[in-house]
């Protein structure tokens, strides 16, 4: 069988380090993270609150707010390092090839413009079509995200739409640029379960139609199980395990992943809050494995030596001393 990761990746994040220089100290929010997103795959990023999922995605988009800084690493997109591009080059890639859906659509939709205007705007800017054509395309885009009265919705302002409609409008806005890579940061967290399922189906569907890749960020394992091809598990600024969805659920290797999977409450959303202890703020993180203070299987070596990520089986990587040979 040909493995997913044999192909040249669309996105290749190497040793990414993003730190926040705060008055309390240096917050090592993302500290040496590696992963790839392949062509036409949905890669899930999962982990408890504060582990660095959003900062990873903001780093890819070059949208890290101050006092944050990318201090090391490479973000190769189609083989080119995004960190070496000028502001202008990056802005142009961001509009055309990379798009991001935020958890709260109100942060991306402008309250003073209609949904249609905001969807039409990037179409007009990037495809050089007339206002009229841009508007027509926007209405058709709104229809594609399964909103039943597209023309009417196009004329509505964000506050006139429900949460689910706003989220769909934002997806329409992002997809109107036909991005190669769509980053969706908790796109369904604020929505009820039925609408959540519809939105995920929509993303999958549009991925298949347009051949784009999706980096899907969530702390909900049910969402991962339903939508993703491969998953990366993050803990406190580090990637601890990467596997196909099937492997991750059938054969989790890292004690943290095992804890997360054990903590799915049945029948409800998979909030990951039942491992004893909590994620420490990554100022002065432990010298060795960052999970060491909470790990039931910790050994002496884990205290001072940080485990490297190793490929244990094809496409299954883990960073844990239990698997040292």
- Binding footprint of ligand ATP on the chain (CB under 6 A): 20, 22, 27, 29, 47, 49-55, 65, 68, 219, 281-282
Which CB, 117 or 235, lies closer to ligand ATP? 235
Which CB, 29 or 177, lies closer to ligand ATP? 29
User: Least distance to ligand ATP from the beta carbon of 314, Å?
Assistant: 28
Do 172 and 141 form a contact (C-beta atoms < 8 A)?
Answer: yes
Which CB, 13 or 138, lies closer to ligand ATP? 13
Q: How many Å apart are CA 21 and CA 65, to the nearest integer?
A: 11
Size of the site for Mg ion (CB under 5 A): 1
Tokens encoding 242: 């990467």
User: Least distance to ligand ATP from the beta carbon of 53, Å?
Assistant: 4
User: Least distance to ligand ATP from the beta carbon of 271, Å?
Assistant: 10
SS3 210: helix
Do 54 and 33 form a contact (C-beta atoms < 8 A)?
Answer: no
Piece of 37-45, 48-56, 161-169, 201-209 that binds Mg ion (CB under 5 A): 48-56
The β-bridge partners of 18 are: 30, 70
65 binds, among Mg ion, ligand ATP, none (CB under 5 to 8 A by kind): ligand ATP
Q: How many Å apart are CA 68 and CA 18, to the nearest integer?
A: 7
SS3 183: strand
Piece of 53-61, 71-79, 113-121, 263-271 that binds Mg ion (CB under 5 A): 53-61
User: Least distance to ligand ATP from the beta carbon of 308, Å?
Assistant: 22
68 binds, among Mg ion, ligand ATP, none (CB under 5 to 8 A by kind): ligand ATP
Helices (H), 37-178: 53-60, 87-96, 115-127, 131-144, 150-154, 163-175
Q: How many Å apart are CA 260 and CA 5, to the nearest integer?
A: 25
Confirm or reject binding of residue 218 to Mg ion (CB under 5 A).
no
Which CB, 56 or 114, lies closer to ligand ATP? 56
Closest by alpha carbon to 148, among 135, 136, 164, 159?
164
134 binds, among Mg ion, ligand ATP, none (CB under 5 to 8 A by kind): none
219 binds, among ligand ATP, Mg ion, none (CB under 5 to 8 A by kind): ligand ATP
The β-bridge partners of 12 are: 36, 76
Which CB, 283 or 312, lies closer to ligand ATP? 283
Eight-class DSSP state of 159: G
Which CB, 123 or 199, lies closer to ligand ATP? 199
The β-bridge partners of 213 are: 181
Eight-class DSSP state of 41: -
Which CB, 54 or 176, lies closer to Mg ion? 54
As a whole number of Å, the CA-based R_g of the chain is 20
Confirm or reject binding of residue 18 to Mg ion (CB under 5 A).
no
Confirm or reject binding of residue 54 to Mg ion (CB under 5 A).
yes
Peptide bond into 67 cis (omega under 30): yes
- The dihedrals phi and psi of 271, each to the nearest 5 degrees, come to -70, 140
Which CB, 29 or 120, lies closer to ligand ATP? 29
Residues at the site binding Mg ion, with contacts judged by CB under 5 A? 54
């Amino acid at each position: 069988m040909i493995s997913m990761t044999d192909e040249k990746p669309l996105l290749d994040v190497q040793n990414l380090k993003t730190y926040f220089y705060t008055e309390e100290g240096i917050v090592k929010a993302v500290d040496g993270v590696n992963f790839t997103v392949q062509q036409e795959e949905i890669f899930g990023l999962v982990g408890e609150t504060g582990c660095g999922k959003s900062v990873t995605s903001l780093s890819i988009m070059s949208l890290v707010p101050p006092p944050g800084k990318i201090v090391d690493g490479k973000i190769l997109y189609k083989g080119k390092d995004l960190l070496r591009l000028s502001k202008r080059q990056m802005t142009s890639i961001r509009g055309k090839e990379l798009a991001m859906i935020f958890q709260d659509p109100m942060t991306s939709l402008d309250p003073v413009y209609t949904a249609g205007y905001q969807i039409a705007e990037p179409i007009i800017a990037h495809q050089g079509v007339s206002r009229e054509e841009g508007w027509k395309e926007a209405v058709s885009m709104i229809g594609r995200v399964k909103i039943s009265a597209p023309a009417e919705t196009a004329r509505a302002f964000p506050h006139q739409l429900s949460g689910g409609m706003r989220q769909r409008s934002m997806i329409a806005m992002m997809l109107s640029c036909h991005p190669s890579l769509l980053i969706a940061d908790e796109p369904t967290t604020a929505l009820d379960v039925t609408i959540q399922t519809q939105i995920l189906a929509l993303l999958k569907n549009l991925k298949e139609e347009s051949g784009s890749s999706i980096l899907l960020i969530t702390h909900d394992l049910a969402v991962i199980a339903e939508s993703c091809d491969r998953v990366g598990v993050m803990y406190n600024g580090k990637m601890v395990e990467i596997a196909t969805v099937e492997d991750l659920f059938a054969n989790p290797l890292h004690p943290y992943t095992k804890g997360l999977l054990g903590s799915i409450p049945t029948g409800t959303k998979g909030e990951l809050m039942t491992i004893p202890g909590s994620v420490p703020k990554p100022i002065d993180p432990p010298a060795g494995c960052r999970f060491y203070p909470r790990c039931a299987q910790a050994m002496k070596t884990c205290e001072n030596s940080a485990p490297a990520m190793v490929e244990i089986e094809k496409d299954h990587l883990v960073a844990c001393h239990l698997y040292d040979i």
